[in-house]
Amino acid sequence: MSLELTVAVIAFAVAAPLTWILRLPTKASRRLEAHVPRVGGFSIVAAFICAPLVLAIVSTQGREFMREDWREFLTLVVCGTLVFMVGARDDFRDLNWKTKFGLQIVAAVGLYVGGYRIGEMTMPVGGKVALGPLDAVVTVFWVVLVTNAMNLIDGRDGVAAGISALIAGTMAYVAWDLGHELIALLFGALAGASLGFVPFNLPKARRWLGDSGAYFLGFTIAGLSVAGFVDSTGRVPLYIPLVALGLPVLDAGIAFLRRFLDARHPMLFDEDHFHDRIERMFGLQPLHVTLATYLITAVFCGAALLLHVWYKSAGSAVVGAAVLLFSLALVATLGYLRSMWNSVRVLELRGRKQASAESGTQ
């Protein structure tokens, strides 16, 4: 792990001073502090790209990894930059959700064409599922899902960048343990770049991540997880990064479901995400809300590491069941089960069933 730690330190050393130096004017924000510069995306992208290149200059082994897989690195950089530019455009002037979503799909397709694909998925209990013609659809869906999930969780200072550092660090270790050195290096670079931004983004933030940074973080994590979690059989145990990404993915899934059940547009903004409810229900200060999301993410990341260690054993079933129970408990504790039970569509369905039952007894 020495190279991974080295590239993380380099990325941190690039991102931290760059974040401090840059001050860019942006559009008015939904939040009050509209003057806070949204430069997180630029500093993180710059650090992520520069760190492996610097490592290649100072390390023979790092140079070999970059020489062998430079096309894959270039593909990720080009497609990630497109997503970053979409977010940056939205940071300065609003884009409608259809345009953003469409360009994210274009970038995800570019990744797929460049070789970032799932192909066959390894199951936690052994065996495999060949995706066949659905490979492109599942891969693109995964990339777009994680890209938007990371943006949705970016509703409080320090949250998205901090949990991205935790997730990327976890994935760096798993990729390294599976022998995928370049992927481990890139995850390490992403973790270091995120950490370099976090000190400026903690409440009360002096810099914001912006859509540009959140999109890039989600897109890069999704792409590297597809490329990096190939086991000895050549298949992808995608459940490992899925568990590590538990908080943003669960938040995105609940957000889509609750908006649908309330007969609202699933792609429009609201203030009812996990971090919103944690703040309202427990009366936490902004920094404590951020730390709570770090703690929840640490639990998911720990579970992902256990799934990796107990691969193809009874332990996988135990950890998987524990993750499901933890997720359900989290959703219930934050009141989502109750609010969805009383949502517009569910109330309509319950009313129709009650009316049907009453008519049947007459």
Measured distance CA(10)–CA(54) in Å, rounded:
8
pLDDT band at 111 (very low <50, low <70, confident <90, very high): very high
Q: In whole angstroms, how far apart are CA 317 and each of 224, 286, 303? A: 25, 36, 12
Q: Decide: 27 and 91 in contact? Cβ < 8 Å.
A: yes
Q: 168: which DSSP letter? A: H
Whole-structure pTM value = 0.91
Locate all alpha helices (DSSP H) within 25-69, ordered by sequence. 40-58, 60-68
Determine the average pLDDT of the residues in 39-63. Answer: 89
Tell me how crowded residue 195 is: count the other CB atoms within 10 A of its CB: 23
- Return the biggest CA–CA distance within the chain: 84
Q: What is the pLDDT of residue 128?
A: 74
Measured distance CA(217)–CA(210) in Å, rounded:
11
| Joined tokens for residue 148 | 């938007």
144-153, 204-213, 333-342: range with lowest mean pLDDT: 204-213
Residue 24 has pLDDT above 60, yes or no: no
Residue 72 has pLDDT above 90, yes or no: no
Q: In whole angstroms, how far apart are CA 299 and each of 135, 189, 210, 247? A: 30, 22, 26, 10
How many residues are present in the chain?
362
Q: Decide: 208 and 40 in contact? Cβ < 8 Å.
A: yes
Q: Which one has a higher pLDDT value, 138 or 234? A: 138
Residue carrying structure tokens 């992208």: 45
Measured distance CA(74)–CA(48) in Å, rounded:
12
Q: 28: which DSSP letter? A: P
Angle, nearest 10°, between helix axes 97-113 and 135-152?
Answer: 130
Measured distance CA(104)–CA(6) in Å, rounded:
31
**CA neighbor of 51 nearest in space, from 225, 190, 251, 259:** 190
Q: List, for residues 116-174, the tens digit of each pLDDT value.
A: 888 777 766 666 777 888 899 999 999 999 999 999 999 899 999 999 999 999 999 99
Q: Decide: 191 and 168 in contact? Cβ < 8 Å.
A: yes
SS3 category, 295: helix
Q: What is the pLDDT of residue 85?
A: 94
